[in-house]
Each structure stands twice: as C-alpha cells, then as structure tokens.
Structure 1
Amino acid sequence: MADKKSYPLRINAEVLQAMQRWSDDELRSLNAQIEYVLREALRKADRLPGEPAPPDKGTPP
C-alpha cells in the first residue's frame, strides 16, 4: 500500500453532508469515500500514474 499523507481540507458543509451520506450508503468511511471519488476522477482524466484511462463509452474500440 502506498504511503498516506494528511491534508487539511476545507469543504462546503452541504458537499460534506452529501459525501457522508454517500459513504454511509457504500459502507465506507468518509475519508475512504473522498479518496475513492478523487481516485476515480484522476483515473478517468488519465492523470493517475500507472493506470490507463478507461475507454470512452461513446466511441467504439
């Protein structure tokens, strides 16, 4: 597992509440849910080192 680093995050209260509800639905901690959402966004934007971007669903292979 990669090293974890702490980072203070200022976030809108409504967004935080929505993330908490989502993490509860997914049975994850709030921190794990935020990391999951960030990782998925990075992967889709092809900005996550070592992982190729997923194919575009609208374009045939």
Structure 2
Amino acid sequence: MAKKKNFPLRIDPKLYEVLESWAKDEFRSVNSHIEYLLREQVKKAGRLPKKKNAEDEDN
C-alpha cells in the first residue's frame, strides 16, 4: 500500500463539527471521511488518472 501524505489542515471549528457528525453517521473517522469526500469530488471533476487494466500490466 502506498504511503499516505501527512499535512496540517486548518478548518473552521463549526465545519469540523459537521464533518465529525457526518463521519460518525458513515462509520468513518473524520480523516477518512475528508479523504473520501475529496476523492469523490476529484473523480467527479475527472481529475483522477485512469487505472491501468490487467492487460496493460501484463505487457
């Protein structure tokens, strides 16, 4: 598994409370929920690189 990048995040306390409650509803940590939300938006924007399929990996 690839190592994850650590960085400090400053966030409005009220927004953090909302994220904390939402993460709890989804059975996630706040950190993993923020990563999930960011990943979904990156996908929606078409900014994630396309994954190689199994055939490409064999060559």
Bucket of the pairwise TM-score, normalised by the shorter protein: 0.7 to 0.9
Q: Which residue of 1 aligns with 2:42?
A: 42
Q: CA RMSD in A?
A: 1.1
Q: Structure 1 residue 45: deviation in Å?
A: 0.2
TM-score of the pair, normalised by structure 1: 0.77
The structure with the larger Rg is: 2
3-state SS, counterpart of residue 11 of structure 2? coil
Deviation readout 1:9-61 (Å, 9 max, x if unpaired): 0011111110000000000011000000000000000011226xxxxxxxxxx
Count of residues in correspondence between the two structures: 51
Q: Which residue of 1 aligns with 2:54?
A: none
TM-score of the pair, normalised by structure 2: 0.79
Q: 5+ unaligned residues in a row in structure 1: which ranges? A: 52-61
Structure with higher helix content: 2
Report the residue type matching 1:25 in the other structure. D
Percent of aligned pairs sharing the same letter = 49
Runs of 4+ in 1 over 2 A off after TM superposition: none
In the aligned structure 1, how far is the partner of 2:41 from the partner of 2:25?
A: 20
3-state SS, counterpart of residue 22 of structure 1? helix
Are 1:2 and 2:9 matched, yes or no? no
